[in-house]
Amino acid sequence: MKKLDALLYHLPSPLQVVKHDAFTQRGLQLLVKRDDLLHPHVSGNKWRKLKHNLLEAQRLGCSKLITFGGAFSNHLAAVAAAGMEFGFSAIGVVSGEESGVENPTLGFAQACGMELFFTSRANLRNYTETKLLELLKIDAKGAFILPQGGANCLAIPGCREIVTETMAQLGHPPDFFVTACGTGATLAGIASGIAEHNSTALGIAVLKGDFLQKEVESLMAKCGEQSSKHPTGESWQMLNDFHFGGYAKWTPELIDFINDFKLKTGIPLDPIYTGKAFFAAVQLAEQGFFQAGASIVLVHTGGLQGVAGFNERFGDLVL
Ligand SMILES: *Cc1c(COP(=O)(O)O)cnc(C)c1O
């Protein structure tokens, strides 16, 4: 498993200057942190979240990864790819019926050698990981267990590196980071990274409801991570108005935005996470949310593997 060193000495992802009318017209500097380019298959924030987990798995001498996720999960695909690349065997517990195995995400995971087990959504929600593994008769001996979405304490230091990398590239902290939020672990990492800087992190919830603020707070507390208040208010906040109806829900307006953004900037987005986060950032710019002269870093958290599955379900909507 020597190749794991590659995780420590990786190149920073590009920080791309992007011209977009909504920003330039208002004197805002727009930058995109291209974490989608970190790795061809362990993309975006999944790479960030897995980094220290994989190093820990190696340190503990674990040769097997076990994780959990939905049938189109970016996390599941990332764990499968990381397992193959770094020599771990991998097991994925998937919510839903075995027939879902036809989709591109699960096909990819299996092609990477991940062994899949299926269980109901209710089981995934209600049982503890240990109980679920018992129920499915999965041998967890010598396994390193990653929660759904990879959202544990070891995910946070990797996501914090988004901030340190960006500051090194930019030479100063940007005024804003914007990132999509599913579990909130990525935002927690960014929030802890900016605790000592004059920078604000905005999380865009891609799920309906207003529970993610609390999730981030409790994750940070559980993991002993600090955030801080700026003189002007909280250093991070969760925005709950850009979920487009809920997780994996979409509207034609969202699809148009994603396709238009790609035509204008050359940057591909996905409809589940980054499309919603970037849409939110453009709306906020248009509403005058950012003060003139502000620098705004949109974190491209990856997720492009999900586009094929989306297009397969809904017709080739996303360019
Ligand atoms: C998983 C994922 C997220 C959500 O990250 P959290 O740390 O769970 O909030 C955001 N963007 C993309 C592309 C993802 O795959």
- Is the CB of 184 within 6 Å of ligand 1? yes
- Is the CB of 73 within 6 Å of ligand 1? no
Residue 167 makes CB contacts below 8 A (sequence gap 6+) with 173, 197
Q: Is-above-0.85 flag for pTM? A: yes
The residue whose C-alpha atom lies closest to atom 13 belonging to ligand 1 is 303
Residue 85 makes CB contacts below 8 A (sequence gap 6+) with 3, 41, 42
- Is the CB of 58 within 6 Å of ligand 1? no
pLDDT value of residue 253 = 98
The residue whose C-alpha atom lies closest to atom 14 belonging to ligand 1 is 303
- Is the CB of 274 within 6 Å of ligand 1? yes
pLDDT value of residue 1 = 53
Residue 37 makes CB contacts below 8 A (sequence gap 6+) with 13, 14
- Is the CB of 163 within 6 Å of ligand 1? no
- Is the CB of 146 within 6 Å of ligand 1? no
Cα(181) to ligand 1 centroid in Å equals: 6
> Nearest to residue 44, comparing CAs of 148, 144, 155?
155
- Is the CB of 182 within 6 Å of ligand 1? yes
- Is the CB of 166 within 6 Å of ligand 1? no
- Which residue in the block uniquely carries the two structure tokens 């993309």? 43
The residue whose C-alpha atom lies closest to atom 15 belonging to ligand 1 is 303
Atom of ligand 1 nearest to the CA of 186: 7
- Is the CB of 295 within 6 Å of ligand 1? no
pLDDT value of residue 2 = 57
Cα(19) to ligand 1 centroid in Å equals: 25
pLDDT value of residue 112 = 98
Bridge-based pairing of strands 295-299 and 233-234 is: unpaired
- Is the CB of 150 within 6 Å of ligand 1? no
Cα(273) to ligand 1 centroid in Å equals: 7
Rounded average pLDDT per 10-residue block, the chain, 319 residues: 79 96 97 97 96 96 97 96 96 84 90 96 93 96 96 98 98 97 98 93 97 96 88 88 97 98 97 98 98 97 95 93
pLDDT value of residue 132 = 96
> Partners of 295 in the beta sheet?
29
pLDDT value of residue 218 = 96
Residue 21 makes CB contacts below 8 A (sequence gap 6+) with none
pLDDT value of residue 8 = 87
Q: Would you say 173 and 193 are in contact if contact means Cβ atoms under 8 Å apart?
A: no
Cα(249) to ligand 1 centroid in Å equals: 15
The token duo for 188 is: 């927690």
Best residue among 45, 79, 207 to mutate for probing ligand 1, ranked by most atoms within 8 Å of CB: 45
- Is the CB of 181 within 6 Å of ligand 1? yes
Measured from the Cβ of residue 67, the count of other Cβ atoms closer than 10 Å reads 28
- Is the CB of 268 within 6 Å of ligand 1? no
- Is the CB of 189 within 6 Å of ligand 1? no
